[in-house]
Structure 1
Amino acid sequence: MCTVTYIPSRDGFFLTSNRDESRHRSAALTPGVYSGGRHRLIYPKDADGGGSWIVLKENGAAAVLLNGAFLKHMRQPPYRVSRGVVLLEIMQAMDPLKGMAQIDLGGIEPFTLVLFVQGNLWECRWDGHWKHIVSLDKTHPHIWSSATLYDERVAKEREGWFEKWLKDRKRIAPGDIVSFHHSAGKRDIRNDLVMNRDNELYTVSVTSIVVSGEGSRMFYNDLATGREAVAAFDSVSTLSFRAPLKDGKKRWEGLTLTDFKSRWERLKLAARRFRVRLTHWEYWPTHLIYAPVYPYWLWLSLRGRSFFFFNAANPRIEYAGFTHERKSGIYQQLPSRYYPRTQFCAAGARPDEVAQQLANRALHFPLIAKPDIGERGTQVSLLRTDAQLEEYCRRSKVDFLIQEYISYEMEAGIFYVRVPGEARGRITGIVGKEFLSVTGDGRSTVRELLMREPRSLLQLGSLTSRYGNLLDNVPAPGIRQVLVPYGNHCRGAKFIDCSDRITEELSAVIDRICKRVPDFYYGRLDIKFTSWDDLLQEKNFSIIELNGAGSEPTHIYDPAHSVFFAWREIIRHWRLLFRISLANAERKKIPLMKTREGLRMLVTHSRYLKMMEQL
């Protein structure tokens, strides 16, 4: 989609594509055979748009799509339909070249189409206004680089790599071409054929069409999973060699020694993950951890005559901050100097409108994007470019916030409580957060370093999806590489109990800060800061989030603590929550939440989370 080569062979040709995509885009479906009018089509399907970037037709025609035409263009969404869908429409025509010439491209984003049809090679460009269709020499190799990602200098440099590679080979096999598409470059990760830009935009797959006297077929390599597949119009060869066989055949029949080894390694890895989860209680499912203390919640509910007795704990926060509260509403109650500059964006906001709003407020990259209602780091993203901002806007189906990125190195969660009527509040726990990272030894790959630690081993799947082949790089000795720059336990951060830092001085500082939030009595402040000394002086800090009645005393997740310690702390904090909420209910005449209202709150939030997980 972003790097394409065409190489003629003795009785056919090779047409190969590297697809560069945002990490927010869903993984494509492996190539399959689809109906295409009179002739069937083979193509990998884009899971988001339903189109494709490379297509093989049963009569030997082939096409591959690149983003952009001659120059990098300014995107002006919304577009009428995706370019991948346009490609399928062109290839379904009896004569794809005529289909390209006749199709209405108004409202379609610029693209380049490399088309081999009826024994001839064509380059077709749509620049947003006009079509440019030229015939190319089919006996000569060609290389294209997407104008949206690679400037003229880089494109010329890539042509040089291609020419040098061709000179070194007398005969070319399909595996040679795929190898070139995997390895060509000069160790410039931003511009090599397998590229990566800030772990947000990177090469996700290599696809190669082979047309010869023996027939035509498509090879596909998913770089994130390592999975390989081959598809042909013969129904048997369309199966990936890794796919399980049906019709009563044995699951292992036809597998090579390499396949057995791969399956065995996956089984061992799954067993290790299971053992880690089993022997480290901090990774147990939430309801399993809380199950032994639920009876205590029931006892408090009976005493308070409400299963949802917490709603008066923080009267100014929706549902007291137990769940489904809006972050934007909480930020509005904080003094502006205490939290990152924030822009609210409604669901469906156009990227250009969001960009203008950010410019008006002088908010510049890098930025943090996150849902206005969310939990456990779901859909939190670090944005570094306009393209990443546009992609986040396009994919988000819920209201979201864009915030300035706070670069302070330290992050902690400080749990604060204040019983109504008491002069001062107090700190009940502090958790320090270590982001998921590796430190190079000069010999091991990032993947090998990750597999040595139980915490990072559990994140290996998501990290592979995000970083792909970059996990096979070998960091220099002593170099620390942060892989997940978020302080979320479920995303691999290590939580350290720092409650020994609780002092009268720090308690007084946090009490002053929290008293500036109207009617805030119970919750956790997630704070980034430069040093503990600066925090004591109330400078160089920022409240990333303020969490209410649903806050966990997250210092319990320190690996040094037992599950029994966790249960004691949970019970202690629930007892405080009960005392605070009932005191506010009596003093401020706030009725406690009824069961029907509480159930409606939980159902609404559950549906909301399921919707977010599907995006």
Structure 2
Amino acid sequence: MIKKYEFWHPRVFEAPFYIYLGLQCLLNGVSIRTLAKANYALNHGEIGIGSKYESQLAFDQSYFLPTELIGADLSIDEKKAQISAFTKSHGFPVILKSDVGCVGKGICKLSNESDIEVKAPLLLGSYILQKFTLNPFECGVFFIRRNGKPKITGINRKHFPSVIGNGVDDVLTLARAHERFTDHWYSFLQSVDTSLVLPKGEEKRLSFIGSHTLGCRFTDDMDLLTPALQQKIVDFFASQPGFNYGRADLKFESEDAFKRGEFIVIEVNGIASLPTHMFDPKYSVWQAYRIFFEHAKYLVSIAKEHALRPMELLSYRGVIKKASENQTLLNLVHQRLMGRTKT
């Protein structure tokens, strides 16, 4: 049986997209490097080789949770002190995210001082320290702006993995039996009492990380878009006219609140963003690629519009080298936080 495309290796699933993207660049006279200019205000259009923290600072900060950057050059004691000071101001829990992070790797939640002692020594590179929101719902909203006209092209609801008790097995056993379980789950299972035996029929949510790679099921929920929500999202992106293609991850208290335009932005992703609503299980692989290819056209069109914008760009070799270094660092810290490597 062929696996559902959402479980294919990313390089396999994304390969046709990049071939199509290259073809669109050729047909429109746009170089691959020029694609970064779709988001000319951000480092290389925010493709995962720059600072996620700097990308956040490019927008109106009133939409975000309190956030600080923990520098890579700090000692362990200095990291602990900064985190402790932050929690004294904003309380627990807090989130730590790698400043070069992607797909949810290298994320952990700190709920008390003991967590600081355990997790701070494991951090590698610069890290984002952010207040954790108790808002239980999350959506990714894909936004484009062409010729000054904003458009929301997709909203995907993130359904976090959960288990239902049977009165016999503990949470860890139930989690391992989940159809979406992978070893990546240990990054968030550490924040759960996995020895707990749930009563029969009781449901327990396991994850706080809104990543497809880490078990979330994505659905296409454009029906949530109301005039009020659209206006609030457009207002947010209007705070940075140099961002014209990408996805914002939003958390909200309830569906009704979201429809009223009440949300918190937890992260902005740039030109490397996937239109994640295409992973809705209701779509065939051909329908998913139709969405994917449509966004390739959007990206090339927007990049062509801003092709003459001045922008410092690394060479192709430089981009590949930086991306490889960041991915290596991210994978290492992800393994450390899961307790899979020696510190």
| 1:333 counterpart = 2:58 | yes
Contact 1:281/1:289 (CA < 8 Å) preserved in 2? yes
Give 1:435 deviation, angstroms: 1.2
| 1:576 counterpart = 2:287 | no
Q: What's 1:603 paired with?
A: 321
Contact 1:366/1:383 (CA < 8 Å) preserved in 2? yes
Q: What's 2:40 paired with?
A: 315
Give 1:359 deviation, angstroms: 5.2
Contact 1:442/1:477 (CA < 8 Å) preserved in 2? yes
Q: What's 2:341 paired with?
A: none
Q: For the residues of structure 2 that align with 1:558 and 1:426, how far apart are their CA atoms?
A: 21
Judged with a 3 Å threshold, the aligned counterparts in structure 2 of structure 1 residues 568 and 449 are, in CA distance, closer, same or farther, namely: same
SS at 1:571's partner residue?
helix
Give 1:363 deviation, angstroms: 2.8
Q: What's 2:104 paired with?
A: 377
| 1:590 counterpart = 2:320 | no
Give 1:515 deviation, angstroms: 0.4
| 1:426 counterpart = 2:151 | yes
Q: What's 1:475 paired with?
A: 198
Q: For the residues of structure 2 that align with 1:331 and 1:394, how far apart are their CA atoms?
A: 25
Give 1:448 deviation, angstroms: 5.0
Q: For the residues of structure 2 that align with 1:548 and 1:576, how far apart are their CA atoms?
A: 13
SS at 1:599's partner residue?
helix
Judged with a 3 Å threshold, the aligned counterparts in structure 2 of structure 1 residues 350 and 527 are, in CA distance, closer, same or farther, namely: same
Q: What's 1:367 paired with?
A: 94
| 1:300 counterpart = 2:27 | no
Same amino acid, percent of matched pairs: 27
Contact 1:435/1:492 (CA < 8 Å) preserved in 2? yes
Correspondence for 1:546 among 254, 268, 279: 268
Q: For the residues of structure 2 that align with 1:492 and 1:418, how far apart are their CA atoms?
A: 31
Contact 2:40/2:242 (CA < 8 Å) preserved in 1? yes
Q: What's 1:555 paired with?
A: 277
Q: What's 1:535 paired with?
A: 258
Give 1:470 deviation, angstroms: 6.3
Give 1:348 deviation, angstroms: 4.4
| Equivalences, count | 330
Q: For the residues of structure 2 that align with 1:500 and 1:469, how far apart are their CA atoms?
A: 33
Q: What's 1:91 paired with?
A: none
SS at 1:413's partner residue?
strand
Q: What's 2:237 paired with?
A: 514
Q: What's 1:271 paired with?
A: none
Q: What's 1:485 paired with?
A: 208
Contact 2:218/2:280 (CA < 8 Å) preserved in 1? yes
Judged with a 3 Å threshold, the aligned counterparts in structure 2 of structure 1 residues 435 and 570 are, in CA distance, closer, same or farther, namely: same
Q: For the residues of structure 2 that align with 1:411 and 1:325, how far apart are their CA atoms?
A: 25
Higher fraction of helix: 2
* Aligned residue identity for 1:607: E
Judged with a 3 Å threshold, the aligned counterparts in structure 2 of structure 1 residues 323 and 509 are, in CA distance, closer, same or farther, namely: same
SS at 1:488's partner residue?
coil
Q: C-alpha deviations, 1:469-496, integer Å up to 9, x for none?
A: 9656421133222222211111111111
Judged with a 3 Å threshold, the aligned counterparts in structure 2 of structure 1 residues 468 and 546 are, in CA distance, closer, same or farther, namely: closer
Give 1:465 deviation, angstroms: 10
Judged with a 3 Å threshold, the aligned counterparts in structure 2 of structure 1 residues 383 and 468 are, in CA distance, closer, same or farther, namely: closer
Contact 2:72/2:124 (CA < 8 Å) preserved in 1? yes
Larger relative contact order (Cα-Cα within 8 Å, sequence gap ≥ 6):
2
Q: For the residues of structure 2 that align with 1:496 and 1:468, how far apart are their CA atoms?
A: 25
Q: For the residues of structure 1 that align with 2:235 and 2:104, how far apart are their CA atoms?
A: 28
Give 1:601 deviation, angstroms: 1.0
Question: Any residues of structure 2 matched to 1:35-184 within 5 Å, and which?
Answer: none
Judged with a 3 Å threshold, the aligned counterparts in structure 2 of structure 1 residues 390 and 563 are, in CA distance, closer, same or farther, namely: same
Q: What's 1:612 paired with?
A: 330
* Aligned residue identity for 1:407: L
Contact 2:84/2:113 (CA < 8 Å) preserved in 1? no
Judged with a 3 Å threshold, the aligned counterparts in structure 2 of structure 1 residues 502 and 465 are, in CA distance, closer, same or farther, namely: closer
SS at 2:39's partner residue?
coil
| 1:281 counterpart = 2:5 | yes
Q: What's 1:405 paired with?
A: 132
SS at 2:307's partner residue?
helix
Judged with a 3 Å threshold, the aligned counterparts in structure 2 of structure 1 residues 606 and 523 are, in CA distance, closer, same or farther, namely: same
Q: C-alpha deviations, 1:371-390, integer Å up to 9, x for none?
A: 11111111100111223223
- Tell me which moved more, 278-287 or 501-510: 501-510
Contact 1:420/1:521 (CA < 8 Å) preserved in 2? no
Give 1:556 deviation, angstroms: 1.0
The TM-score normalised by the length of structure 2 is 0.87
Q: What's 1:343 paired with?
A: 68
SS at 1:484's partner residue?
coil
Contact 1:281/1:563 (CA < 8 Å) preserved in 2? yes
Judged with a 3 Å threshold, the aligned counterparts in structure 2 of structure 1 residues 503 and 599 are, in CA distance, closer, same or farther, namely: farther
Q: C-alpha deviations, 1:494-530, integer Å up to 9, x for none?
A: 1111122234443222111110124221110100011
Give 1:355 deviation, angstroms: 4.3
Q: For the residues of structure 2 that align with 1:470 and 1:357, how far apart are their CA atoms?
A: 28
Q: C-alpha deviations, 1:312-366, integer Å up to 9, x for none?
A: 1111110111221211112212222211111211124234434443455503221
| 1:435 counterpart = 2:153 | no
* Aligned residue identity for 1:585: A
Give 5+ residue unaligned stretches, structure 2. 334-343
Q: For the residues of structure 2 that align with 1:371 and 1:551, how far apart are their CA atoms?
A: 17
Contact 1:436/1:493 (CA < 8 Å) preserved in 2? yes
Judged with a 3 Å threshold, the aligned counterparts in structure 2 of structure 1 residues 363 and 464 are, in CA distance, closer, same or farther, namely: closer
Q: For the residues of structure 1 that align with 2:73 and 2:60, how far apart are their CA atoms?
A: 29
Higher fraction of strand: 1
Give 1:535 deviation, angstroms: 3.2
Judged with a 3 Å threshold, the aligned counterparts in structure 2 of structure 1 residues 478 and 349 are, in CA distance, closer, same or farther, namely: farther
Q: For the residues of structure 1 that align with 2:240 and 2:311, how far apart are their CA atoms?
A: 22
Q: For the residues of structure 2 that align with 1:504 and 1:479, how far apart are their CA atoms?
A: 37
Q: What's 1:567 paired with?
A: 289
Give 5+ residue unaligned stretches, structure 1. 1-274
Q: For the residues of structure 2 that align with 1:575 and 1:585, how far apart are their CA atoms?
A: 15
